[in-house]
Structure 1
Amino acid sequence: MTGHPTERGGPVPTAGAAPPFDPELGLVLAASGDGAREPLTPENLAARQRRDAAARPRPTVRDLRADGRFEVDELCVPGASDGQGVTLVSARPAGIAGPLPLLYYMHGGGMIMGNAWSVLPKLLSDWALGLKLAVISVEYRLAPQTQYPGPVEDCYAGLVWVAAHADRLGIDTDRIIVGGKSAGGGLAAALALLTRDRRGPAPIGQLLLCPMLDDRNNTLSSHQMAGIDTWDRTSNATGWQALLGARYGASDLSPYAAPGRAEDLSKLPPAYIDVGSAETLRDENVAYAQAIWQAGGQAELHVWPGAFHGFDSIAPQATLSQDARDARTHWLRRILTQSDANSGPAR
């Protein structure tokens, strides 16, 4: 993959001034230096992948067990038809009997970075103990080494295996939520579509945190935040081009590659979608929530004022980050509580 990402998606919308950052978030971003907003390009991709791998060291299974508070295992399960296995990192609060609900989670990283281990400490501390929730994090293969459909098929194969081995894992198959952040949020949305259409394991909810949904990359917000957001339209195009290769921007691209392309969003599990008002992906996230509502589905949408992409990871102690974390927790608790009286989404 060489050369700068190309324009996709038709005429360029007229963009006004960018929305301002939340003052507290803006100070943290400024203190983090220019590197936090350095655009990702095909030319610097390999170097950025190496830098990211060094910056996100993988905690060991022993580390994740946190002195016995969690039961943690690494599982290698059969993959998709290309014969590649999938690694799942399974964690649950220790000492809780009976099958637990599951958050089946895909990490972020623009489809090109990140790993299944580094996201687990936050997921476990935020939700596993308080909600008595098991978490499985998916080590899907990354682009450009593995292009579509490899990553989403990894996620689907892992979910099918988990549902088939629920008794061994202590998982309640009637209480599975798929979720993810950024690229992982896009994969979670694709997974909800894929399980619906293949009649696979039926999740009761989809937790989509600033999801990467649409390869066309031509919304007004993508132009407003060019060169400003931590994940701007140049970086976004680079990630999509790495994932899709020659399919990038194709008119007939599958919604399992880019869920923003989906024409049928009916019969999906309830969605939680959150995004910042000052981020590249704002408009495609808002459009996805609207499309779910128009299809007769359920979606809870939060647009955090003045938030940039990944704000809660860069500034976890900021007031807005804490508000976002609380809202996600409330939604998860409500979905899990409602599932006690329901068998899952309608088919």
Structure 2
Amino acid sequence: MDVEQVLPELREPMKRTQASAPRWLVRAAVRVMPVPKSDAVAVTKARAGSVRLRVYTPRGARSGAGMLWIHGGGLLFGDAKQDESLCLSTAERLGMVIVSANYRVAPEHPFPAAHDDVRQAWTWFVDHAARLGVDADRIAIGGESAGGGLAAGLVQRIHDDGGAQPRAQWLFAPMLDDRVAARRELDALDHFVWNNAANREGWSGYLGGEPGAESVPAYASPGRRTELTGLPPAFLTWTDIELFAEEDAAYADALHRAGVPVATDIVTGAVHGFENWGKDTPVAQALIERAQYWLGRALAEHA
């Protein structure tokens, strides 16, 4: 792709995301990365069985709302700590408790490991909602990239299982459909930050085989699901020049056709994950403000 397509404010921070590194090194770097601090939000650790959680609790006024957040990492790496800034600012601005889940990653742990882990985190949050000062009927599920895909699949499973349901889904450039990874013609585009070769590695590890098969297990590739009626309102954002643009737009359209309220936010000239690695840029800050505004309204007590 041509770097001239990218907003000037993102070009410099994008360079720091382009260097390739072995998977083990990326995993190690994420685990030891420094995290920002906040006087307004307390950060504690918890466990849902074997699943490690980070819990963000506002020290000031509380809204009674909550969110389960799921980090990205291509299904191959990542840690809840990488989204510390987003979780801190969202917890503080909206007065909400956020539980951020770590999960097992591929290829060592293929589907349904990550999916089952985030399902366990959801159950833990609902069971502990009263203790955390959260209304169990006002909890959203959100995620970025691979975490957005896991969030979408989790929302589908919870709908099918019954019981307490999420009030909303908050999806940032979700990785939704393995069939995209099977399209070899997309390799030539070499998308910035996350290209189709990386996408194929992630999906192959997660599915335990080549992506694009005739069928995959339920909830593994949420973009394939055709029955979406009854799912909670959704906020979906993606960029116009990223690999996931087509599949995200398709999922948003499918939700809309199923009668699900959908808000979309397509950022022109941005690159996949910019709201994370480019969080200090004006375009990223503006997106987060818009997304948080939507989430606050979706989780309002009388929404």
User: TM (normalized to structure 1)?
Assistant: 0.80
1:76 aligns to 2:40 (yes or no): no
* Counterpart Cα distance in 2 of 1:21 and 1:317: 16
Residue 230 (structure 1) shift: 0.8
Q: Spell out structure 1 runs of 4+ moving beyond 4 A.
A: 16-19, 218-222
Q: Deviations over 1:93-121 (max 9, x none)?
A: 12546x72111100011111111233223
3-state SS of paired residue (1:159):
helix
Who is 1:3 aligned against?
A: none
Who is 2:258 aligned against?
A: 295
Residue 225 (structure 1) shift: 7.1
Residue 55 (structure 1) shift: 4.6
Q: Which amino acid in structure 2 is aligned with residue 70 of structure 1? A: V
Who is 1:167 aligned against?
A: 130
Q: Which amino acid in structure 2 is aligned with residue 341 of structure 1? A: H
> For the structure 1 residues 205 and 221, does the alpha-carbon distance in structure 2 shift closer, same or farther, using more than 3 Å as the test?
farther
Who is 1:148 aligned against?
A: 111
> For the structure 1 residues 131 and 227, does the alpha-carbon distance in structure 2 shift closer, same or farther, using more than 3 Å as the test?
same
RMSD of aligned alpha carbons: 2.6
3-state SS of paired residue (1:117):
helix
> For the structure 1 residues 71 and 24, does the alpha-carbon distance in structure 2 shift closer, same or farther, using more than 3 Å as the test?
closer
3-state SS of paired residue (2:227):
coil
Residue 72 (structure 1) shift: 2.9
Residue 27 (structure 1) shift: 4.4
Residue 26 (structure 1) shift: 3.0
3-state SS of paired residue (1:73):
strand
Residue 194 (structure 1) shift: 0.6
Who is 2:243 aligned against?
A: 280
Query: Which protein is richer in helix relative to its size?
Result: 2
More deviation, 112-121/190-199? 112-121
Identify which of 25, 32, 57 aligns with 1:92: 57
Report 1:186-335 matches (<5 A): 186-217=149-180, 223=186, 226-246=189-209, 248-335=211-298
Q: Which amino acid in structure 1 is aligned with residue 240 of structure 2? A: S
Q: Which amino acid in structure 2 is aligned with residue 49 of structure 1? A: W
Residue 325 (structure 1) shift: 1.2
Q: Which amino acid in structure 2 is aligned with residue 88 of structure 1? A: L
Q: Deviations over 1:121-144 (max 9, x none)?
A: 3311x2111110111000111111
Residue 50 (structure 1) shift: 2.0
Identity %: 32
Aligned residue pairs, count: 303
Residue 25 (structure 1) shift: 2.0
* Counterpart Cα distance in 1 of 2:237 and 2:111: 25
> For the structure 1 residues 130 and 161, does the alpha-carbon distance in structure 2 shift closer, same or farther, using more than 3 Å as the test?
same
1:24 aligns to 2:9 (yes or no): yes
3-state SS of paired residue (1:136):
strand
Residue 219 (structure 1) shift: 9.0
More deviation, 161-170/49-58? 49-58
Q: Deviations over 1:157-203 (max 9, x none)?
A: 11112212222222210110000000110011011101000013201
> For the structure 1 residues 289 and 335, does the alpha-carbon distance in structure 2 shift closer, same or farther, using more than 3 Å as the test?
same
3-state SS of paired residue (1:174):
coil
1:128 aligns to 2:80 (yes or no): no
CA contact (8 A) 1:254 1:261 kept: no
Residue 73 (structure 1) shift: 2.4
3-state SS of paired residue (2:178):
coil
> For the structure 1 residues 28 and 222, does the alpha-carbon distance in structure 2 shift closer, same or farther, using more than 3 Å as the test?
farther
* Counterpart Cα distance in 1 of 2:239 and 2:270: 4
User: TM (normalized to structure 2)?
Assistant: 0.91
| Structure 1 unmatched runs, 5+ | 1-15, 39-43, 79-84, 343-347
CA contact (8 A) 1:260 1:288 kept: yes
Q: Deviations over 1:144-166 (max 9, x none)?
A: 11110110111111111221222
